Amino acid sequence: MSLLEVVDLRADRGSFRLGPVRLEVPPGSATVLLGPSGAGKTTLLRAIAGSLPLAGGSVRLDGAAVEALPVERRRFGFVPPNLGLFPQRRVRDNVRYPLALAGAPDAAAKAANWIERFGLTDLRDRYPHELSSGQRQRVAMARALAAEPRALLWDEPLAALDVESRDVLVRLLRDLLETERLPLLLVTHDPTTAFALASRVVVLDSGTVRRDCTPEALARGPLDRFVARFLGYENLYSASELARAEGASLAPRLIAAAGPGGLVVPPEAVRWRPGPEGPHAAQVAALRWTAAGWVVALRHGSLTFHVATPGATPGVRIGDRVGIDVEPAELKPLTGVPSNGSP
Amino acid sequence: MHRTAIAARTLAGILSASLIGLFVLPVVALFLYAGGSGLAFAAGDPGFRTALEFTLLASALAVGLGLLTGVPLGYVLARYRFPGRGVLESVVTIPVVIPHLVVGIGLLLLFAPNSPVGRFTAALGIPIFDAVWGVVLVMLYVGASYVVLTSQLAFRSVDEEVLEAARSLGAGPGEAFATVTLPAAARGILTGALLMWARGVSEVGGFLILAYAVYPTPPWNGPVTDAASVWIYNYWGIDPTAAVGASALLVLVALAIFLVVRLLDRTGFAWARGGFFS
């Protein structure tokens, strides 16, 4: 049971500068690192793990600085983006590796225990290349935990998984956080994983922390373009896109509501009705079926709004003209500048 | 299928078959000409058997030295960026492009018994001229490049993330090298060793200059002999039938060694396959 603290950490990778980054992951909780590609998420994990030297700052476990320790003595269960499984070793040997290194007398039994906890018993004699993505992820997790780490650093642990495998692993991770009481810092691009696991969300951009807040606070806003995309909003418009909008009678209202980074028009903010046109008109440009119902793309001049309709049928056909309006109170302006320190 | 495509495939097939034929037919001719009697004669000839034993000893020493020096160099070239690395890579390929008779002359000039280097090595108990170490030196020169180049490729292909994971799991740099890097690169290194061995055993030019006859010097305590390839070269002018029989036998020995190493690679080397801690 440890508290992981990152205090004003700085690291350089070529011309890329990371930090200063400050964050805290209490035992038994997960903090999710979010950010666009190249934001510095993996660099941060590597710097904490010790694979990358620090240019400044400190990494602490239960208050004790570990940055002077070599990687192998930090006891971070680091899982890199491509998992780093040993291709020449079978599943059982991958999981047994850290235990054997530590000279554990009951290495095989302990490894077998982790293999069983991750549902890998039937696969124990297979090589990594003989496993599916989800199975490989489980091997990497079992191996990281077999090393008896004091904190977990996982880079995209649930990437490229089907929904079912991901849900199984999320449940497993939640159980582990509860039973092992370890701090988990993980990178993910998947909002479902983030919201299911994280008690804190840290948004990195260009090497610096832009947000450090609860998942709920992240969803409530203020929003920037990256966070809005991460949360799954489709109707994102930059300020210049709105200013240049042609044939869109709603544009002045949208411009008035937009922030420096533009505007999000949530689907629930769009009021539309098939048939007789009101003061503002749109045309059905596309229809898409999702598990939550139909998504209708409405073209309003040069702007397109995606709206959800829960019915079994969309009620319109491509090319139909519809009446449209937006509810100003439900529009979400986008910030154009970093917004730190949300609770 | 389109006619042009059929024609192109046929042409490619004919050209490939021609090359494969060029590779295989001389060996077939060798065995046909030698026959069972030629092989039996070579196997029973004390002179050739001694030359063969000597060649196996010298090539084993050369491959050992090649691995000892070539694998670290391959590792350095694969893992580190430093000024002059490109020059070093070019130097490694020099032995592949220099005619091997020239290699022998160069080595003789350097290691001749009356040269400073030759006197120095002789004083250390390692005579080079007409001695087992001369043969080893030529084999090392003409073959070690293969160990360096294949090791370099093998080390380069080891995933950095795998090493990163090993370190975070508790392996120090040495342990990570021994338990992850080396096993992952083992097959490439083995291939390099096999190529080096084959190149060394097939060498003639360098031996003719530096170690035409091999006099007993430790670790070779047998009678005066030649490298097997030199023995064959000598007998080609005196007794072609014996030379052909010996050649066929040398090919059989080489094939047997390749087969044994490949079998070991397939079934053994447990340490390289995850059983390191077994």
- What confidence score (pLDDT) does residue B246 get? 93
B176 CA: distance to closest CA in chain A (Å):
10
Angle, nearest 10°, between helix axes B132-156 and B46-79?
40
CA dist., res. A248 & res. A304, Å (int): 10
A76, B172: Cβ pair inside 8 Å? no
- What confidence score (pLDDT) does residue B271 get? 46
Q: Is the pLDDT of residue A2 over 60?
A: yes
DSSP bridge pairs for A306: A297
Calculate the dihedral angle through the C-alpha atoms of B244, B245, B251, B254, rounding to the nearest 10 degrees: -140
A86, B169: Cβ pair inside 8 Å? no
Q: Which CATH superfamily is domain B36-273 in?
A: MetI-like (1.10.3720.10)
Give the tens place of pLDDT for each residue, B79-88: 999 999 999 9
- What confidence score (pLDDT) does residue A338 get? 46
CA dist., res. A288 & res. B19, Å (int): 58
Question: What residues in A contact B170, CB-CB < 8 Å?
Answer: 72, 75, 98, 101-102, 147
Give the tens place of pLDDT for each residue, B45-99: 999 999 999 999 999 999 999 999 999 999 999 999 999 999 999 999 999 889 9
Q: Is the pLDDT of residue A122 over 90?
A: yes
Task: Classify domain A4-221 at the CATH topology level.
Answer: Rossmann fold (3.40.50)
Q: What angle do CA B199, B202, B205 make, to 5 degrees?
A: 100
Q: How far is CA B154 from CA A94, B146, B149, B276, in A?
A: 21, 12, 9, 19
Find out whether B136 and B65 touch, Cβ atoms under 8 Å. Answer: yes
Q: What is the pTM of this model?
A: 0.74
Residue A291: CB atoms within 10 A of its CB come to 5
For the complex shown, is ipTM > 0.90?
Answer: no
Position A253, amino acid: R
* pLDDT tens, per residue, chain B with 278 residues: 688 889 999 999 999 999 999 999 999 999 999 888 888 888 889 999 999 999 999 999 999 999 999 999 999 999 999 999 999 999 999 998 899 899 999 999 999 989 999 999 999 989 899 999 999 999 999 999 999 999 999 999 888 889 999 999 999 999 999 888 988 888 889 989 999 999 999 999 999 999 999 999 889 988 889 999 999 999 998 888 899 999 999 999 989 888 888 777 776 554 454 443 33
Give the tens place of pLDDT for each residue, A50-106: 989 999 999 999 889 999 999 999 989 999 888 999 988 999 999 999 999 988 888
Task: Give the tokens for residue A161.
Answer: 């998984």
DSSP characters for chain B? --HHHHHHHHHHHHHHHHHHHHHHHHHHHHHHHHHHHHHHHHHH-HHHHHHHHHHHHHHHHHHHHHHHHHHHHHHHHHH---TTHHHHHHHHHHHHHS-HHHHHHHHHHHH-TTSHHHHHHHHTT---TTSHHHHHHHHHHHHHHHHHHHHHHHHHTS-HHHHHHHHHTT--HHHHIIIIIHHHHHHHHHHHHHHHHHHHHT--HHHHHH-SSB--BTTB-S-SB--HHHHHHHHHHH-HHHHHHHHHHHHHHHHHHHHHHHHHHHH--GGGGT-TT-
DSSP characters for A272-339? EEESS--SSEEEEEEEEEETTEEEEEEEETTEEEEEEE-SSS-SS-TT-EEEEEE-GGG-EEEPSS--
Question: What residues in B contact A82, CB-CB < 8 Å?
Answer: 159, 161
**DSSP state letter for A158:** T
Q: Which of residues 81-140 of A touch B (CB under 8 A)?
A: 81-90, 93-94, 96-98, 100-102, 107, 127, 140
CA dist., res. A66 & res. A27, Å (int): 17
Domain locations along chain A: 4-221, 229-334
Calculate the dihedral angle through the C-alpha atoms of B45, B50, B53, B59, rounding to the nearest 10 degrees: -120
Find out whether A224 and A334 touch, Cβ atoms under 8 Å. Answer: yes
A70, B172: Cβ pair inside 8 Å? yes
Residue of A84, A88, A94 with shortest CB distance to B164: A84
- What confidence score (pLDDT) does residue B75 get? 94
CA dist., res. A299 & res. A313, Å (int): 19
Q: What angle do CA B46, B50, B53 make, to 5 degrees?
A: 135
Find out whether A203 and A209 touch, Cβ atoms under 8 Å. Answer: yes
Name the 3-class secondary structure at A264: strand
A97, B166: Cβ pair inside 8 Å? yes
Name the 3-class secondary structure at A195: helix
Give the tens place of pLDDT for each residue, A137-147: 889 999 999 99
B274, A144: Cβ pair inside 8 Å? no
Q: Which CATH superfamily is domain A229-334 in?
A: Nucleic acid-binding proteins (2.40.50.140)
Question: What residues in A contact B179, CB-CB < 8 Å?
Answer: 97, 101
CA dist., res. B28 & res. B31, Å (int): 5
CA dist., res. A231 & res. A226, Å (int): 9
CA dist., res. A127 & res. B6, Å (int): 41
